[in-house]
Chains A and B, each alone.
Chain A
Amino acid sequence: MATTEVERRRGQLAALSIAAVVILIGVPLWWRTTETYRAWLPVSQIQELANLQLQLSADVEVVFARGTVTPEQQKKVPLTLTQDDEHVVDEDTALRYRYETRYRTATIMEEDALNQPTAAEADLSLHTLSESPCGSLVVYVIPESSSLLPEDVDVYVGQRRTALLRIGAQTRVGRTLEQLLSHLEPRVKQVLQVMSFSHTDITAALSDRVRLSPGNKESIADSMRAFKSSPGYEITFSLLNPDPKSHRLHWDIEGAVQTYIQPLLRKLAPLANFSIDSQTLYYAMLGVNPRFDSSRSAYTLNSDSLAHVINPVEARLGSNAASSNPVLNFLLYVPDAHHSPLHINDHKKQEVPSNAFHSPRWGGIMVYNVNDFYGPEAAFPVDINIDMAKVMGVFLAQLRLLLGVQSSAPPPRFLVAPCSSAGIADWELDRLMWSRSVENIATATTTITSLAQLLDQIGNIVINDNIAQQVSSAVTSLQLAVAELESGNLRFALQYSKEAILASERAFFDPSLLHLLYFPDDQKFAIYIPLFLPMCVPILLSLLKIVSDARQRRREKHAKAD
Chain B
Amino acid sequence: MAAPLTLLLILAVTIRAALYRSSLADLIAERVEVVSPLTAWKRVVEGLALLDLGVSPYAGDVFHETPLIIYLFHFLVDYAEITFMVTDVITAVALYLAVKDYNKQVFRKQKYALEAERYPLDCLELIRSPKEMYYIPLKVAMFYLLNPFTILSCVAKSTCGLNNAVIALFILTTIKGNVLLSAIFLSLATYQSIYPLTLCAPALLYLTQRQYIPVNFRRFSFWWFVAQYAFMYLGSLFVMICLSFFLLGSWDYLPSVYGFILSVPDLTPNIGLFWYFFAEMFEHFRLFFLCVFQINIFFYTIPLSIKLKEHPVFLIFMQLAVISIFKSYPTVGDIALYLAFLPVWSHLHRFLRNIFLVSCVLLACSALFPVLWHLWIYAGSANSNFYYAITLLFNVAQVGRTVTETKVHLAASVSGFVYRSCCLTVT
A1 and B307 form a contact (CB under 8 A): no
**Looking at the complex, which one of A4, A14, A30, A34 makes contact with B416 (CB distance below 8 Å)?**
A4
**Looking at the complex, which one of B118, B282, B304 makes contact with A1 (CB distance below 8 Å)?**
B118
Residues of B within 8 A of A25 (CB): 295
B284 and A516 form a contact (CB under 8 A): yes
B285 and A34 form a contact (CB under 8 A): yes
CB contacts under 8 Å to A, within B298-355, are 299, 302-304, 306-307, 309-310
Known: A18-B299, A34-B285. A13 touches B306 (CB 8 A): yes
Minimum CB–CB distance for A74 against chain B, Å: 78
A2 and B414 form a contact (CB under 8 A): yes
Report the separation of the CA atoms of residues A14 and B201 in the bound assembly, to the nearest whole angstrom. 15
Residues of A within 8 A of B310 (CB): 1-2
Known: A13-B306, A34-B284. A1 touches B291 (CB 8 A): no
A527 and B306 form a contact (CB under 8 A): no
B284 and A17 form a contact (CB under 8 A): no
B291 and A33 form a contact (CB under 8 A): yes
A15 and B288 form a contact (CB under 8 A): no
A10 and B113 form a contact (CB under 8 A): no
The answer, yes or no, to whether B221 is at the interface (CB within 8 Å) is no
A10 and B414 form a contact (CB under 8 A): no
**Looking at the complex, which one of A1, A13, A14, A21 makes contact with B414 (CB distance below 8 Å)?**
A1
CB contacts under 8 Å to A, within B383-427, are 410, 413-416, 418
A33 and B309 form a contact (CB under 8 A): no
Q: Per-position contact with B for A2-27: 1 when CB-CB < 8 Å, else 0?
A: 11100100110111011001000110
Known: A516-B284, A527-B285. A2 touches B413 (CB 8 A): yes
The winner among A1, A11, A13, A26 for most chain B CB atoms within 10 A is A1
Report the separation of the CA atoms of residues A17 and B201 in the bound assembly, to the nearest whole angstrom. 15
- How many residues of chain A are within 8 Å of chain B by beta carbon? 25
B418 and A14 form a contact (CB under 8 A): no
The answer, yes or no, to whether B368 is at the interface (CB within 8 Å) is no
The answer, yes or no, to whether A29 is at the interface (CB within 8 Å) is yes
Minimum CB–CB distance for A531 against chain B, Å: 7
Minimum CB–CB distance for B257 against chain A, Å: 23
Summarize B's interface: helix, strand, loop or mixed. helix
**Looking at the complex, which one of B282, B302, B306 makes contact with A21 (CB distance below 8 Å)?**
B302
Known: A2-B310, A14-B307, A33-B288. A21 touches B299 (CB 8 A): yes
Minimum CB–CB distance for A13 against chain B, Å: 5
Residues of B within 8 A of A13 (CB): 306
The answer, yes or no, to whether B382 is at the interface (CB within 8 Å) is no
Report the separation of the CA atoms of residues A7 and B303 in the bound assembly, to the nearest whole angstrom. 13
> Which residue on A lies nearest to B113, using beta carbons?
A1
Report the separation of the CA atoms of residues A3 and B416 in the bound assembly, to the nearest whole angstrom. 7
Minimum CB–CB distance for B264 against chain A, Å: 15
Q: Per-position contact with B for A29-67: 1 when CB-CB < 8 Å, else 0?
A: 110011010000000000000000000000000000000
> Which residue on B lies nearest to A9, using beta carbons?
B306
Residues of B within 8 A of A17 (CB): 302-303, 306
Residues of B within 8 A of A3 (CB): 414-416
Report the separation of the CA atoms of residues A17 and B298 in the bound assembly, to the nearest whole angstrom. 13
Q: Per-position contact with A for B251-292: 1 when CB-CB < 8 Å, else 0?
A: 000000000000000000000000000000010110111011
A18 and B303 form a contact (CB under 8 A): yes
**Looking at the complex, which one of B288, B291, B309 makes contact with A10 (CB distance below 8 Å)?**
B309
Residues of A within 8 A of B307 (CB): 10-11, 14
> Which residue on B lies nearest to A515, using beta carbons?
B284
Known: A14-B307, A15-B303. A7 touches B288 (CB 8 A): no
**Looking at the complex, which one of B287, B292, B303, B416 makes contact with A531 (CB distance below 8 Å)?**
B292
Q: Per-position contact with B for A513-536: 1 when CB-CB < 8 Å, else 0?
A: 001100100000001000100000
Minimum CB–CB distance for A105 against chain B, Å: 74
Minimum CB–CB distance for A277 against chain B, Å: 42
Report the separation of the CA atoms of residues A3 and B303 in the bound assembly, to the nearest whole angstrom. 18
Report the separation of the CA atoms of residues A534 and B247 in the bound assembly, to the nearest whole angstrom. 47
> Which residue on A lies nearest to B306, using beta carbons?
A14
Report the separation of the CA atoms of residues A519 and B288 in the bound assembly, to the nearest whole angstrom. 17
> Which residue on A lies nearest to B118, using beta carbons?
A1
> Which residue on B lies nearest to A13, using beta carbons?
B306
B288 and A30 form a contact (CB under 8 A): yes
Residues of A within 8 A of B284 (CB): 34, 36, 515-516, 519
Minimum CB–CB distance for B63 against chain A, Å: 29
Residues of A within 8 A of B295 (CB): 21, 25-26, 29
B416 and A527 form a contact (CB under 8 A): no
Residues of B within 8 A of A26 (CB): 292, 295
Minimum CB–CB distance for A255 against chain B, Å: 56
Known: A1-B113, A14-B303. A33 touches B414 (CB 8 A): no
Report the separation of the CA atoms of residues A519 and B113 in the bound assembly, to the nearest whole angstrom. 63
The winner among A18, A29, A33, A515 for most chain B CB atoms within 10 A is A33
Report the separation of the CA atoms of residues A15 and B302 in the bound assembly, to the nearest whole angstrom. 10
The winner among B282, B284, B295 for most chain A CB atoms within 10 A is B284
The winner among B285, B287, B303, B413 for most chain A CB atoms within 10 A is B303
Report the separation of the CA atoms of residues A351 and B409 in the bound assembly, to the nearest whole angstrom. 108
Report the separation of the CA atoms of residues A102 and B121 in the bound assembly, to the nearest whole angstrom. 121
Minimum CB–CB distance for B39 against chain A, Å: 27
Residues of A within 8 A of B288 (CB): 29-30, 33-34
Report the separation of the CA atoms of residues A10 and B309 in the bound assembly, to the nearest whole angstrom. 9
Residues of A within 8 A of B306 (CB): 10, 13-14, 17
Residues of B within 8 A of A15 (CB): 303
Residues of A within 8 A of B299 (CB): 18, 21
Report the separation of the CA atoms of residues A25 and B288 in the bound assembly, to the nearest whole angstrom. 12
B418 and A4 form a contact (CB under 8 A): yes
Residues of B within 8 A of A7 (CB): 410, 414
Instruction: Return the 8 tightest CB-CB contacts between A and B, nearest first.
Output: A14-B303, A1-B415, A33-B288, A33-B287, A14-B306, A17-B302, A13-B306, A14-B307
27 A/B residue pairs, CB under 8 Å, sorted by A = A1-B113, A1-B413, A2-B413, A4-B414, A4-B418, A7-B410, A11-B307, A13-B306, A14-B303, A14-B304, A14-B307, A17-B302, A18-B299, A18-B303, A21-B299, A25-B295, A26-B292, A29-B288, A29-B292, A33-B288, A34-B284, A34-B285, A36-B284, A515-B284, A519-B284, A527-B285, A531-B292
**Apart from A1-B118, A25-B295, A516-B284, what are 5 other A-B pairs with CB-CB below 8 Å?**
A1-B310, A1-B414, A10-B306, A33-B285, A36-B284
